[in-house]
Amino acid sequence: MNKVTIQSPATVANLVCGFDILGMALDQPYDIMEVRKLDKPGVIITSLDGFPLPADPAKNTAGAPLIEMLAELDQPIGFEVIINKQIKPGSGIGSSAASAAGAVVAANHLLGNPFSKEDMVRFALFGEKVASGVKHADNIAPCIYGGITLIRSIFPLDIVSIPAPRLYVTVVHPQIEVRTSDARQILRKQVLLKDAIRQWGNIAGLVAGFVKNDYDLIGRSLEDVIIEPVRSMLIPGFDEVKAKCKEAGALGGGISGSGPSIFMLSKDLATAQQVETTMKAIYTRIGLDHHTYVTTINQQGVKIIEHAIL
Amino acid sequence: MNKVTIQSPATVANLVCGFDILGMALDQPYDIMEVRKLDKPGVIITSLDGFPLPADPAKNTAGAPLIEMLAELDQPIGFEVIINKQIKPGSGIGSSAASAAGAVVAANHLLGNPFSKEDMVRFALFGEKVASGVKHADNIAPCIYGGITLIRSIFPLDIVSIPAPRLYVTVVHPQIEVRTSDARQILRKQVLLKDAIRQWGNIAGLVAGFVKNDYDLIGRSLEDVIIEPVRSMLIPGFDEVKAKCKEAGALGGGISGSGPSIFMLSKDLATAQQVETTMKAIYTRIGLDHHTYVTTINQQGVKIIEHAIL
């Protein structure tokens, strides 16, 4: 029997003006997962973290993608997955994507990598479907590809890696619950054309800023006139965090995924740490429990750390 | 008395998914303009092309920007502008922008270039205001900067040059009238969020494709789900032109500005010429007079070709 152990990174989706299309992988935090190949069909999921799991693997974010993968393989094998989750579910930094992508990359590795990265994204999307009801790829794609990824289109799937200069990421997770499905429901189905134009000006600027290593342009383009004004109402302290972090030197940032985590990008470590201090001070004053991370963009995506032949 | 002669290029605005934010300058066609510095206040516009001109220079696309420039200068001088227009007004390839930008660049040159490119865009926008009622910069900016330019924001003005690989541009101008103001009025003020998301995925892909020299990505991203489905109804043969030109090898394209011109991008000259043949065949069959151009992206913008001290 073969088993692999992997690290599956947290990710920031809905990168400000890049709602639904732009995400990035983080070096911290990450889940650790162990996947074993079984000689009989089926998927077994075990969690080491104490979070309750759906009994049916088809309803589990790591299980559903493996069921799809096995269906496509058409071989009498199965997988056992042991999850040591470090990325808290509901934090808005891609907890479900880490489970889905991690399971798929590990299983593919055990099989000798018959599937492409794009195939793996396709399978992992079934995990997002289970988690939030929507097949959104802006956590899954950076989790598998690493770096910053653009999902130009989801049908057909078109993933583009966006090179970027070195950036530091500060994340604060205030301990309140924002459900992805709720965060989707409060969005308006229609937007003003003039706002949409402003948004696509910003996303064009952000991509150009990343590819051209232009920090100023990145900062100017980190503006979301459509989603953030609505969703930020669900996150206590959001406006103050954003304003004070920019005063502290951050290039800019916004809601991570559908929240409640907030992320900020900085040009150097000292600024990213100052931003962390700022975030902590605000949530301490508000009286809200919180976790923070100061990290960098993960360039590799899911990482195989051990492959044992038992 | 000083005079300069300049070439002011045609431009393609509303670059497919880049409505209102992305434009490019063309090497062909261009207007020729002569601007003289006068020792007394005022602006005089003379046209050599037989097109009727507003008697009041404040209502002329070349005059209005110069009046703004003179107001900012606060000197007892004036300008005379002689326009030899080659870019037909109403063609959708930036005729008004060429007049406005050409006048401003020439005047600035006569003064010893006291104004920056951004200043010149700011003045030239008054010409667009006169022409169409709206200060849109996606013709003006590429006309002054050259190349492909992103107008990330118009208030405040934020112009970003987007590098791109060598591209050939084929333009067809079917001889029908589409007024910019009419073309604006038929647009819906609201768009579906899901369409807006698809559009900003495409604009992000297009910018990434340009900067990364990725022709395939450029081609895949040349899709407009918001403006083109509405405006293309004003242009006879549009759908057929687009489909057949892509069959002929074009990467993609769409409406130039607010039409009626249609442009297509190709990777090489032979394809761009084949695209021209395709366009001509369609409009000949439809029985609509038309002009075509096969050209490249103008990298310089308005060009000083002569500076004489009289």
- Whether B126 and B42 map to the same domain: the answer is yes
- Whether B14 and B158 map to the same domain: the answer is yes
- Whether B303 and B201 map to the same domain: the answer is no
In contact, A143 and A249? CB cutoff 8 Å: no
CA–CA separation, A229 vs A195, rounded Å? 12
> B147 contacts in A (CB within 8 Å)?
none
Average pLDDT estimate for B280-298? 97
For tokens 């493996």, name the residue: A66
What pLDDT is attached to residue B116? 97
The pLDDT > 70 percentage for chain A reads 99
Catalogue the active-site residues of B: 128, 180
Interior angle at CA B193, CA B141 and CA B129, nearest 5: 30
- Whether B152 and B10 map to the same domain: the answer is yes
Looking at the predicted structure, is the pLDDT value of residue B178 above 90? no
> B135 contacts in A (CB within 8 Å)?
none
Residue A192 — φ and ψ, nearest 5°? Answer: -70, 140
pLDDT band at B195 (very low <50, low <70, confident <90, very high): very high
CA–CA separation, A129 vs A104, rounded Å? 15
> B220 contacts in A (CB within 8 Å)?
152-153, 158
* E strand residue ranges, chain B: 2-12, 22-38, 42-47, 78-84, 148-153, 158-162, 168-174, 190-192, 252-255, 262-266, 290-296, 303-309
In contact, A260 and A173? CB cutoff 8 Å: yes
CA distance A35 to chain B (A): 34
In contact, B263 and B170? CB cutoff 8 Å: yes
Mean of pLDDT over chain A: 94
Beta A78-84 vs A42-47: how paired, if at all? parallel
- Whether B104 and B241 map to the same domain: the answer is no
**Nearest Cα residue to B296 out of B164, B131, B150:** B164
Q: Tell if the CB–CB gap between A200 and B21 is shorter than 8 Å.
A: yes
What pLDDT is attached to residue A54? 77
- Whether B224 and B152 map to the same domain: the answer is no
**Nearest Cα residue to B243 out of B253, B235, B233:** B253
pLDDT band at A293 (very low <50, low <70, confident <90, very high): very high
Each residue of B10-43: pLDDT tens digit?
999 999 999 999 999 999 999 999 999 999 999 9
**Angle of the B193-211 helix axis to the A193-211 helix axis, nearest 10:** 30
The domain containing residue A243 runs over which residues? 168-296
Average pLDDT estimate for A60-81? 94
Looking at the predicted structure, is the pLDDT value of residue A74 above 90? no
In contact, A171 and A297? CB cutoff 8 Å: no
Helix (H) or strand (E) holding B185: helix B180-185
- Whether A52 and A185 map to the same domain: the answer is no
Rounded-to-10 torsion of CA B198, B22, B136, B174: -90
- For chain A, the residue count is 310
What pLDDT is attached to residue B224? 97
In contact, B230 and B258? CB cutoff 8 Å: no
Beta B148-153 vs B22-38: how paired, if at all? antiparallel
> A160 contacts in B (CB within 8 Å)?
205, 208, 217
ipTM score: 0.94
Q: Is B136 or A143 the better-scoring residue by pLDDT?
A: A143
Q: Tell if the CB–CB gap between A193 and B204 is shorter than 8 Å.
A: no
Mean of pLDDT over chain B: 94
In contact, A127 and A83? CB cutoff 8 Å: no
- Whether B158 and B283 map to the same domain: the answer is no
Catalogue the active-site residues of A: 128, 180
Looking at the predicted structure, is the pLDDT value of residue A180 above 80? no
Average pLDDT estimate for A64-75? 94
Each residue of A210-224: pLDDT tens digit?
999 999 999 999 999
Q: Tell if the CB–CB gap between B207 and A212 is shorter than 8 Å.
A: no
Q: Which residues contact B19 (CB under 8 A, 6 or more apart)?
A: A197, A200, B199, B224, B226, B227
Average pLDDT estimate for A30-47? 93
What pLDDT is attached to residue B134? 82
Average pLDDT estimate for B128-135? 86
Reply yes or no: is the peptide bond before residue A65 cis, omega within 30 of 0. Answer: no
Q: Tell if the CB–CB gap between A153 and B198 is shorter than 8 Å.
A: yes
CA–CA separation, B307 vs B310, rounded Å? 10
- For chain B, the residue count is 310
Number of domains in chain B: 2
- Whether B49 and B72 map to the same domain: the answer is yes
Classify A161 in phi/psi space as left (phi over 0), alpha (psi -120 to 50) or beta: beta
What pLDDT is attached to residue A22? 98
> A190 contacts in B (CB within 8 Å)?
190-193
Average pLDDT estimate for B237-261? 97
Max CA-CA distance within chain B? 60
What pLDDT is attached to residue A178? 77
Determine how many CB atoms are found less than 10 A away from the CB of residue A286.
Answer: 13
> A162 contacts in B (CB within 8 Å)?
208
Nearest to B191 among A19, A191, A220 (CB): A191
What pLDDT is attached to residue A1? 62
Q: Tell if the CB–CB gap between B200 and A17 is shorter than 8 Å.
A: yes
What CATH number is attached to the domain comprising A21? Answer: 3.30.230.10
Looking at the predicted structure, is the pLDDT value of residue A55 above 80? no
**Chosen from B184, B191, B200, B220 to mutate, greatest number of chain A CBs within 10 A:** B200
**Chosen from B152, B154, B189, B206 to mutate, greatest number of chain A CBs within 10 A:** B152
Each residue of A254-280: pLDDT tens digit?
999 999 999 999 999 999 999 999 999
Helix (H) or strand (E) holding A305: strand A303-309
What pLDDT is attached to residue B53? 73
Could you tell me the two tokens for A109? 């590795």
Beta B262-266 vs B252-255: how paired, if at all? antiparallel
Could you tell me the two tokens for A283? 């949530």
Residue A90 — φ and ψ, nearest 5°? Answer: 80, 5
**Nearest Cα residue to B283 out of B256, B262, B308, B300:** B262
- Whether A189 and A303 map to the same domain: the answer is no
pLDDT band at B1 (very low <50, low <70, confident <90, very high): low
pLDDT band at B86 (very low <50, low <70, confident <90, very high): very high
Could you tell me the two tokens for A11? 């990710």
Average pLDDT estimate for B235-250? 98
Chain B: residue nearest A14 by CA?
B197
What CATH number is attached to the domain comprising B218? Answer: 3.30.70.890
Looking at the predicted structure, is the pLDDT value of residue B194 above 90? yes
Torsion sign (Cα): B295, B301, B306, B310: positive
In contact, A89 and A179? CB cutoff 8 Å: no
Q: Which residues contact A234 (CB under 8 A, 6 or more apart)?
A: A178, A182, A183, A186, A259, A260
CB pairs under 8 A between A and B: 126
- Whether B133 and B232 map to the same domain: the answer is no
Nearest to A188 among B193, B207, B226 (CB): B193
CA–CA separation, B15 vs B27, rounded Å? 16
- Whether B140 and B19 map to the same domain: the answer is yes
Burial B117-149, CB ≥16 within 10 A → b, else e: bebbbbbbbbbbbbbbeebbbbbbbbbbbbbbb
The pLDDT > 70 percentage for chain B reads 99
Average pLDDT estimate for B45-70? 86
- CA count, 13 A, side-chain hemisphere, B267: 12
For tokens 């130009």, name the residue: A152
Chain B: residue nearest A161 by CA?
B208
What pLDDT is attached to residue B135? 84
